Amino acid sequence: MDLAALSVQDLLKLQAAVIGELKNRGILRTKNNPVGDYAEWLVASALGLKLAKNSSAGHDAVSESGRKIQIKARRVTADNKSRQLGVIRNLESMDFDELVAVIFDDTYEIVLAVSIPHAVIAEYSTYRPHVNGHVLHIRGALLSDYRVQNICTELKAYHNALKSLIPFVGTA
- Spell out the per-residue pLDDT of the chain, length 172, in tens: 888 888 878 887 898 888 888 888 888 888 778 898 889 999 999 999 999 988 778 899 999 999 999 999 999 998 999 999 999 999 999 999 999 999 999 888 899 999 999 999 999 999 999 999 999 999 999 999 999 999 999 999 888 887 666 555 454 4
What topology does CATH give the domain 33-163? PvuII Endonuclease; Chain A (3.40.210)
Backbone Cα Rg of the chain = 17
Distance between CA atoms of residues 69 and 51, nearest Å: 9
| pLDDT at 167 (0 to 100) | 56
Distance between CA atoms of residues 40 and 121, nearest Å: 19
Distance between CA atoms of residues 100 and 40, nearest Å: 9
CB 51 within 8 A of CB 36: no
Distance between CA atoms of residues 8 and 87, nearest Å: 31
CB 146 within 8 A of CB 121: no
CB 27 within 8 A of CB 38: yes
Alpha helices in the chain, H assignment, sequence order: 8-24, 34-47, 118-124, 141-144, 152-163
Strand, coil or helix: what is 73?
strand
Please enumerate in sequence order all residues whose Cβ is within 8 A of that of 67, keeping only pairs 6 or more positions apart, or say none. Answer: 97, 98
| pLDDT at 164 (0 to 100) | 66
| pLDDT at 165 (0 to 100) | 62
Q: What is the DSSP string of 25-46?
A: TTS-SSSS-HHHHHHHHHHHHH
Extents of the domains making up the chain: 1-32, 33-163
| pLDDT at 12 (0 to 100) | 79
